[in-house]
């Protein structure tokens, strides 16, 4: 059941659940447990990475556009077996969550994020910043992303965007 957006206790509980989901999601990626990453999504979920420029103009062009969990699983398999890229790790820093609405039984949420990338030589950089625009399904035993739109602040993207954000 969707929370009332005007009821503070319900909002606080929902924010807590979404915050926990995002923390688990980021920990999965940051600890290189990528085989578990697709489990955070519904079967027909959409995972889309775009830039603020394209998003603001409604342009459908994306850096990554996966239309279901099978495509996410294929991406992980490709990362592990086919793609060649310099070893690296991410560390997500996620802002406070805002519940922005509910529609069709899904909770809409937004959170800002930063990802620090550490390369094998120990060098670190602020890899990307942006925001998550999520539609979350709470109808099952645990919340799952029905849509995760990753909107990057900059249009200048490192071509080494291998690991999910």
Domain boundaries along the sequence of the chain: 8-152
Helices (H), 31-121: 52-56, 69-81
Measured distance CA(161)–CA(165) in Å, rounded: 9
Which CATH number does the domain 8-152 belong to among 3.50.50.60, 3.10.450.50, 3.30.70.1150, 3.40.47.10?
Answer: 3.10.450.50
Kindly report, residue by residue over 56-113, the tens digit of the pLDDT: 999 988 899 999 999 999 999 998 998 888 889 999 999 999 999 998 889 999 999 9
Alpha carbons 90 and 80: distance in angstroms, whole number: 16
Distance, CA of 141 to CA of 159 (rounded, Å): 37
Q: What pairs with residue 132 in β-bridges? A: 111, 150
Give the angle subtended at the CA of 23 by the CAs of 17 and 27, to the nearest 5°: 145
């Amino acid at each position: 059941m969707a929370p009332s957006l005007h009821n503070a206790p319900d909002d606080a509980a929902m924010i807590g659940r979404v915050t926990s989901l995002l923390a688990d999601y980021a920990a999965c990626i940051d600890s290189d447990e990528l085989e578990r990453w697709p489990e955070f999504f519904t079967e027909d979920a959409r995972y889309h990475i775009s830039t603020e420029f394209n998003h603001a103009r409604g342009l459908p062009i994306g850096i990554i556009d996966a239309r279901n969990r099978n495509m996410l699983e294929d991406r992980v398999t490709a990362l592990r077996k086919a793609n060649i890229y310099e070893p690296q790790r991410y560390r997500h820093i996620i802002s406070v969550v805002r519940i922005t609405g509910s529609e069709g039984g899904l909770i809409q949420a937004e959170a800002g994020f930063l990802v620090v990338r550490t390369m094998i030589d120990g060098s670190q950089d602020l890899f990307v910043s942006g925001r998550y625009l999520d539609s979350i399904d709470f109808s099952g035993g645990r919340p799952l992303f029905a849509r995760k739109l990753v909107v990057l602040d900059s249009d200048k993207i490192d071509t080494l965007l291998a690991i999910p954000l």
